[in-house]
Amino acid sequence: MKTFSTFIFSLLTTFNVLPAGETSVIFIHPDGAGLAHWQAARFLIAGPDGDLNWDKLPHIAVYRGHMRDNLTASSNGGAVAHSSGVRLEVSSFGLEKDSNQRPVSASGIRETIFQEAMRRGLRVGLINSGDITEPGTAVFVAASGKREDKEEITLQVLESGADVIMSGGEIYMLPEGTAGHYTRSGKRTDGRNLIEEARKRGYTVVYNKAELANVPPKTKKLLGVFAEKHTFNDRSMGELKAAGLPLYNTESPTLAEMTAKTLELFGDQHFLLIVEEEGSDNFGNANNAPGTFEALRRADEAFGVALSHLKKYPETLILTAADSEAGGLDVIGLTDGKEEHIAMAKLGRDRNGAPLGLDHNEEPFLSAPDREGKRHQFVVVWASLSDTSGGILARAAGLGAEMVRGTVYNTDIYRIIRDALFGNKNRREEEKAISP
C-alpha cells in the first residue's frame, strides 16, 4: 500500500504541478557497464529469471553517447556531457578546446549542474570507488587541460566545497615524503597536505568502513579517504593471484556503504548525489571477468540502497547510465557435453579467436538457478581491452523518472537532473541546445 506522501507525490507528478526545488537526485554511474554487462551479472547473481536492483528501475531509454569528435566516449568526455549538457571532444576534462574555459552549459551558465546545485544551497556529494580524480565524479567540480594532471584535479575536488567526498586517491592528497593511512609517500609537488587543509575547513576525515559506520548522522562535512589509489586492484586474475591481492581492498567500504552513509547524512534535505562504481570499467578493460562481476554486484547494491531511500523519501529521482562499454563483454552459454563448447572452454578462446573470460585457468561461470531450479554454465567473451560504444541503457525510478523514455543522449542527463532539481520553469531553450 502506498503511503499518503507517496500518493500525493504521485498526483503531483501525474499532473506536472510539482513545485520547483522539491526533488532530490541520485545519479549512479556504473562506468563501462552496458546492457551485456548487466545481462551477465543477472545470470550470475539473480539467475536468468531473476531481477537485479538495476532491473527495478522501471523507466528505460536507449542511451546515445558519442562525442563531438569520436563515436566512442571517454570517461572524461562523457562526464562533461552529463555535468554540463554539452558535447565536447573526447579528450576534454571539463574545458573547451579553443577557449580553455569551462563550457557554457545547456542552461546558459558557465557551471556544471553540481556547481549550480551548490550555489543554490543544496546538499551535494561525490562518491567514487576509484581514485579522487576519476572523471565520472571529478568533472562535476574540476576542470583541467590534461586528465593526467592528478595533482591539480585532486586540489579542485577537495576545494570544491562539496558536503561529502568519498573515494580513493590518498597519494594525490599528500606531499612528497609524507606518509598517510595507505601510502608511504604522497605525490604532491606543491608541498600541500590537502587532508589537513580539509580538516581545517571543517571536514570529518575517515579512512575505513568501521570509521565510516561511526560517523554521526548530523555531520555536515565528510571526507572519506579509502585507498592509496583505487579501492580495487584492477589487474588480470593471473596477476592478482601471483601478487596475492584481492579484487577489492577489504578495509575500504563498498559503494553501497558509502552511498548509505551519505543518504543518512542528507536525509530529507534537498540534495544532488553523484555516485560512480569505477571497477566495472577498469576490470572490464583488463578483461577480468570475476572483477567485473564483483564491481557490478557492488554497483547493484548501491542501487538497492538508493531504492530504499526512495521508499522513505518519494520526492527522489534515481537516474543511471554509463558512457561506454568496457572491453566489449558478452556471454556465451555452454551446453553440457557439447564438443564445441568443451573445446572452447579448454582453449580459452571462441572459434574466431576472441578471448574468453577464463583468465588463469578458471572454470566456466555457473548461473544462479532459473525458475525451474536449473543452473547454467556460461563464459564471458571479450572484444577488446578498450572502451566500446556497445549498447547502453539509461534507467530511472522515482519522481520525474518519466523523463527517461525512448532515446536519451548523453547531454540529456544534465537536463533530466536539472529539471528534477529545479523544475521545468528553468528550462528556457535547453531542449534546443541539447538536441543533436
pLDDT tens per residue across span 193-240: 999 999 999 999 999 999 999 999 999 999 999 999 999 999 998 899
Same domain as 375, residue 276: no
pLDDT class for 18, splitting at 50, 70, 90? very low
Asked if the model's pLDDT at residue 425 lies above 50, the reply is no
Q: C-alpha cell of 126? A: 561525490
Buried b (16+ CB within 10 A) or exposed e, 112-121: bbbbbbbeee
Q: Is residue 79 part of a domain?
A: yes
- What is the arithmetic mean of pLDDT over 69-87? 96
Same domain as 276, residue 142: yes
Instruction: Give the pLDDT score at 426.
Output: 47
Q: Is residue 405 part of a domain?
A: yes
Same domain as 316, residue 338: no
> Do residues 145 and 95 lie in contact, with contact meaning Cβ atoms separated by under 8 Å?
yes
CATH number of the domain where residue 222 is located: 3.40.720.10
> Do residues 108 and 258 lie in contact, with contact meaning Cβ atoms separated by under 8 Å?
no
Which tens digits make up the pLDDT trace of 26-45?
999 999 999 999 999 999 99
Instruction: Give the pLDDT score at 423.
Output: 87
Decide: helix, strand or coil at residue 156: helix
* Helix, strand, coil percentages in the chain from 3-state DSSP, rounded to 5: 35, 20, 45
Q: Is residue 431 part of a domain?
A: no
Q: Provide the total of helices (H) and of strands (E) in the chain, helices listed first.
A: 15, 15
**Distance (Å, whole) CA 108 – CA 430:** 8
Orientation of helix 75-84 relative to helix 412-422, angle to 10° = 40
Count of Cβ atoms closer than 10 Å to residue 218 Cβ: 7
**Distance (Å, whole) CA 261 – CA 40:** 29
φ, ψ for residue 324, nearest 5 deg: -165, 175
Total domains, the chain: 2
For the chain, give the mean pLDDT: 91
Asked if the model's pLDDT at residue 325 lies above 80, the reply is yes
pLDDT class for 98, splitting at 50, 70, 90? confident
Q: Is residue 368 part of a domain?
A: yes
> What's the half-sphere exposure (Cβ side, CA atoms, 13 Å) at 37?
40
Q: Where are the alpha helices (DSSP H) in 286-391?
A: 289-312, 339-347
Same domain as 362, residue 308: no
Give the predicted TM-score (pTM) of the model: 0.91
Same domain as 341, residue 201: no
Asked if the model's pLDDT at residue 428 lies above 90, the reply is no
pLDDT class for 5, splitting at 50, 70, 90? very low
Same domain as 194, residue 290: yes
Same domain as 377, residue 232: no
Structural domain boundaries enclosing 339: 330-381
> Do residues 166 and 278 lie in contact, with contact meaning Cβ atoms separated by under 8 Å?
no
Nearest CA-CA partner of 57 in 324, 420, 306, 371: 306
Count of Cβ atoms closer than 10 Å to residue 422 Cβ: 21
Same domain as 210, residue 348: no
User: What residues pair up with 381 in beta bridges, in sequence order?
Assistant: 330, 356
**Distance (Å, whole) CA 39 – CA 381:** 13
**Distance (Å, whole) CA 273 – CA 259:** 9
Which tens digits make up the pLDDT trace of 115-131?
999 999 999 999 999 99
Q: CA 116 → CA 140, 144, 400, distances in Å?
A: 10, 19, 19
**Distance (Å, whole) CA 130 – CA 252:** 11
Q: Is residue 242 part of a domain?
A: yes
Give the residue, 337 or 371, on which the prediction is more confident. Answer: 371
Same domain as 214, residue 78: yes
Same domain as 358, residue 215: no
Q: Is residue 433 part of a domain?
A: no
Same domain as 376, residue 289: no
Q: Is residue 11 part of a domain?
A: no
Residue the block writes with cell 513545485 = 19
Buried b (16+ CB within 10 A) or exposed e, 139-164: bbbbbbeebeebbbbbbbbbebebbb
Same domain as 304, residue 338: no
Q: Is residue 148 part of a domain?
A: yes
Pairing of strands 24-30, 271-277: parallel
**Distance (Å, whole) CA 77 – CA 66:** 9
Instruction: Give the pLDDT score at 398.
Output: 97
Count of Cβ atoms closer than 10 Å to residue 200 Cβ: 7
Nearest CA-CA partner of 205 in 177, 229, 180: 180
